[in-house]
Amino acid sequence: MLLLVAGSTAIVTAASRYEVDGPAWFDVRSFLFGWAPSALLIFGLWSVLEWTREKAAHASPVAAWYLLFTIASVPITLLGIAVRAYQPGWWEQGDTLAWVFYGALWFWLGIAMWRISRAVTRSMLVAASLLVYAIIVQIAASWQISTQAWQPLESYEDEEYASLTLSQEVFETQQTLLQGSLQAIVPSTGDKRQTFGLIYAPYAEDVFLRESAMVKQVLEERFGAWGRVVRLVNNATTANEFPWATTRNLERSLQALAKAMNPERDVLVIYLTSHGGADFKLAAENWPLHVEDLTADELRSMLDELGIRHRVIAVSACYSGGWIEPLRNDDTLVMTAADKDHTSYGCGSNSELTFFGRAVFDEQLRKTLSFEEAFKAAVPVIKQREIDGKKDDGFSNPQISVGSNIRTVLDELTAG
């Protein structure tokens, strides 16, 4: 029995390697954790059969059931692996044919388990009980205890994953960079409303570095914010180019911007781009430098204390809809890449820009100066791209809140 189970397991484990495209490594912990459903299944079978031992058709019904099930599930599992390997994401797309095929595999498995149950017990009722329990365990395992023994191999030699080297020279350079950036802010002049910008990218990944550069370009070229945009970035490759995105640097930058602008007349555009969590915190990472995550309440408090009245705040992060309520007021436009219950898309290491930043800023705001129009036009584009990208956890559902006073201010701003 042990040899047969080991052989079947080896075949399935080896075949599952093809589910991972590219280099991969064998995760022993995930492999061992994958045996949890088997332990649960064996215990349940024993519990059901213990009180019906006199009706058993086999001397060792639990061992016989598990052995037959292990062997019978091999071709079913291999077929599923083959489909996932050559048609990745097919089931997640909701294709009707895919779900028919998926249902057929479950039907095949159900028939196999029924035949096995009938082979180890003379009682129809006990066989039905075994079948129901086994199905429940298999469904729970596929949804809640899904493990992958083979994991993608990531190279940490790439610039994307290069760690920051802390030294006295780096700290001194950072002080100079921040001071220079803040001193270079061009003060507000004349009587017309003017645009100032603050871009905050606190997570050390290249996609956020690229996005911060793009947003700065859009604010300068489309809204005339030349010399009035502060860009804070965490990235190991730019420690000698841009000030770090830390909460302290954010506060200092806002203070400098408040002094340079007319807080009652001008508009401050804040763009936050990073990973986000269900706790509505904007993730910060610049290891080995410790950086605190940012919350909407902290940002709101900073802005209120400085008296910066007219605000356009864009948050490109998962679950960023949780920032709407804390930042909402009559003089603020807030737009987020997702609602409070969903992830956004396009923040992976291979992404050029996030879906939200690309659609709203890099595309629509190059056509219009209205943030509302840009957002409205971008939402269906984002939805289609998420469908094409096989996003499997629901539409990100970007959100927008426009205060009763800010719309008139923005109309005057874009009118020149």
Domain ranges of the chain: 2-152, 171-414
Neighbours of 382 (CB within 10 A): 26
Provide, rounded to the nearest whole percent, the portion of the chain with pLDDT above 70: 91
Q: Residue 175 class from Cβ within 10 Å (0-12 exposed, 13-18 middle, 19+ buried)?
A: exposed
Decide: helix, strand or coil at residue 50.
helix
* The pLDDT of residue 308: 95
Q: pLDDT below 50 — which residues of the chain?
A: 155-161
- The full DSSP string for 128-174 is HHHHHHHHHHHHHHHHHS---SEEEPPPTTSGGGPPP---HHHHHHH
Decide: helix, strand or coil at residue 201.
strand
Provide the token pair at 307: 């008296």
Name the CATH topology of 171-414: Rossmann fold (3.40.50)
- For the chain, how many residues are written? 416
Is-contact 55 123, C-beta < 8 A? yes
* The pLDDT of residue 59: 67
**Residue spans of beta strands (DSSP E) within 66-172:** 150-152
List pLDDT tens digits, range 240-253. Answer: 999 999 999 999 99
* The pLDDT of residue 58: 62
Distance CA 163, CA 156 (A): 9
Distance CA 254, CA 251 (A): 5
| pTM, rounded to two decimals | 0.65
Distance CA 142, CA 17 (A): 18
C-alpha count within 13 angstroms, C-beta hemisphere, residue 382: 32
* The pLDDT of residue 157: 44
Distance CA 5, CA 181 (A): 65
List pLDDT tens digits, range 175-212. Answer: 999 999 999 999 998 888 999 999 999 997 889 999 99
* The pLDDT of residue 407: 93
* The pLDDT of residue 374: 96
Which residues does 383 contact at the CB level (< 8 Å), separation at least 6?
A: 395
For residues 235, 154, 33, 98, the Cα torsion angle rounded to the nearest 10 degrees is 110
